[in-house]
Amino acid sequence: MMLRTTKYAYRGSRKRTVPLWLSSLPQVDWLLLILVVGLTSIGGLMIRSTELHETSVTWWQHWLFGGLGVAIALFIARCRYEHLMQWHWLTYAITNISLIAVIAIGVAANGAQSWIEIAGFNIQPSEFAKVGLIITLAALLHQKDAKTIPSVLRILGVTAVPWVLIMLQPDLGTGLVFGAITLGMLYWANMSPGWLILMISPIISAILFNVLFPGWIIWAILMGLVAWFTLPLRFVSTIFVMGMNFGSGKLSGIFWGLLKDYQKDRLTLFLEPEKNPLGGGYQLIQSRIAIGSGELWGRGLFEGTQTQLNFIPEQHTDFIFSAVGEEFGFIGAIAVLVAFWLICFRLVVIACQANDNFGSLLAIGMLSMISFQVIVNICMTVGLAPITGIPLPWLSYGRSALLTNFIALGLVESVANYRPKKRF
């Protein structure tokens, strides 16, 4: 059956026949879409490689839901994203209700109650909550930017509700992603860089208190200077900020003492996994062996020994990058990193060319979400960050995460599709 077609004039003289569905996507960023589809395809191959000697069907499910995701993204791209602004509070309400439902009737797995079973499928609402948060914050910051402290506090208050619900599951990885989304969008909405530093300063103080004590004192003093030059009511603000940083350091020592040994290992073993090679450090050690054994060109598809012999637990999810490194080597790993870099670059371009602040903020929200997950996940697999359960976008297996990323892609493609048309 032939596709229905439509004709339109081009430069006033030439005519071109295109499919009707394609004519409604005149300015979609095809490079961005192709890169995402390419990564999803590679993800299916890598998942297949990790399960080559098993009867699991997760690899073709990854492709199946990837195809569904592409269809959803293209459908969303045809719709005008501006209509979401008037529904942002409804989106926010649905997001929070779904997270409350997880706590009430959710299914527990791997120490977290993060899933709801619907028609035989486990759905993870916290993944879809990322998009809900991006839409809500974009609408609020479109109405009023982040140049004033009340506006920033408003955004933090809105973010706090779903963040607390996610941490109650508990889901530390998604909680960190929420923080990255919020900070990235606040920065793009003209928040002072000094305020951004002050917002993350207590976390740095907590780390320095336990790692480098003199550095903790110097850091707290520096934050006081930042507060002096960037906040109103200089004297009060400076005292408050320094007290907050000194207090966070002290409290971190108290909370650290309350943690159980396995919880401490989860946070620190990445620094020296050899301390517990058969326990908490096992997964990271095997991941590094796999990536290192790939050398320059890799062992070849379906030829990785660490991958084929299942030395890395749950490799098809959070540690899928180790399969890429082993079977495609340094060249393959760099190619994946370049693909992610190009995706982030295209998101910045779309944000800069958007028709309004709402569209620009949607693109930056997705940029913050994707870039943070990529950085943390890859650092995690090579031993530069603690294991936090953050998947690698479009490569790791996870139906909810995959569909979430494609929904976010569809929103950004809608921003691209309805940006001001180029004139030649």
Distances (CA, A) of 414 to 28, 314, 379: 7, 35, 32
Count of beta carbons in the 10 Å neighbourhood of residue 263: 12
Encoded tokens for 70: 């592409």
Alpha helices in 79-192 (DSSP H): 88-105, 125-143, 149-167, 172-188
Does 253 have pLDDT greater than 80?
no
Does 351 have pLDDT greater than 90?
yes
Instruction: Give the pLDDT confidence score for residue 269 in this predicted structure.
Output: 78
Lowest mean pLDDT among 33-37, 135-139, 376-380, 387-391: 387-391
Instruction: Give the pLDDT confidence score for residue 191 in this predicted structure.
Output: 94
Sole residue written with tokens 């995959």: 402
Q: What angle do CA 98, 126, 360 make, to 5 degrees?
A: 105
C-alpha 267/C-alpha 211 separation (Å) is: 13
Span 202-215, pLDDT tens digits:
988 888 887 777 88
Q: What would the mean pLDDT of 124-141 be, rounded to a whole number?
A: 95
Query: Nearest Cα to 166, choosing from 156, 157, 177?
Result: 177
Instruction: Give the pLDDT confidence score for residue 260 in this predicted structure.
Output: 64
Residues contacting residue 371 through CB under 8 Å, at least 6 positions apart? 180, 340, 344
Instruction: Give the pLDDT confidence score for residue 2 in this predicted structure.
Output: 37
C-alpha 299/C-alpha 327 separation (Å) is: 5
Instruction: Give the pLDDT confidence score for residue 420 in this predicted structure.
Output: 79
- Give bridge partners of residue 9 from the DSSP assignment: 15
In degrees and rounded to multiples of 5, residue 17 shows phi and psi of -100, 125
Instruction: Give the pLDDT confidence score for residue 9 in this predicted structure.
Output: 39
Instruction: Give the pLDDT confidence score for residue 275 in this predicted structure.
Output: 79
Q: What would the mean pLDDT of 369-384 be, rounded to a whole number?
A: 94
Does 227 have pLDDT greater than 80?
yes
Amino acid of residue 307: T
Residue 113 parent element (H or E): strand 112-118
Q: What would the mean pLDDT of 351-376 be, rounded to a whole number?
A: 96
- Residue 1's pLDDT band (boundaries 50, 70, 90)? very low
% pLDDT > 70, the chain: 90
Q: What would the mean pLDDT of 318-331 be, rounded to a whole number?
A: 94
Measure CA 213 to chain center.
32
Count of beta carbons in the 10 Å neighbourhood of residue 256: 15
State whether the Cα torsion 253-255-258-260 is positive or negative. Answer: negative
Instruction: Give the pLDDT confidence score for residue 5 in this predicted structure.
Output: 36
Q: What would the mean pLDDT of 86-115 be, rounded to a whole number?
A: 86
Does 63 have pLDDT greater than 90?
yes
Measure CA 356 to chain center.
23
* Contact by Cβ (8 Å): 316, 50: yes
* Contact by Cβ (8 Å): 181, 174: no
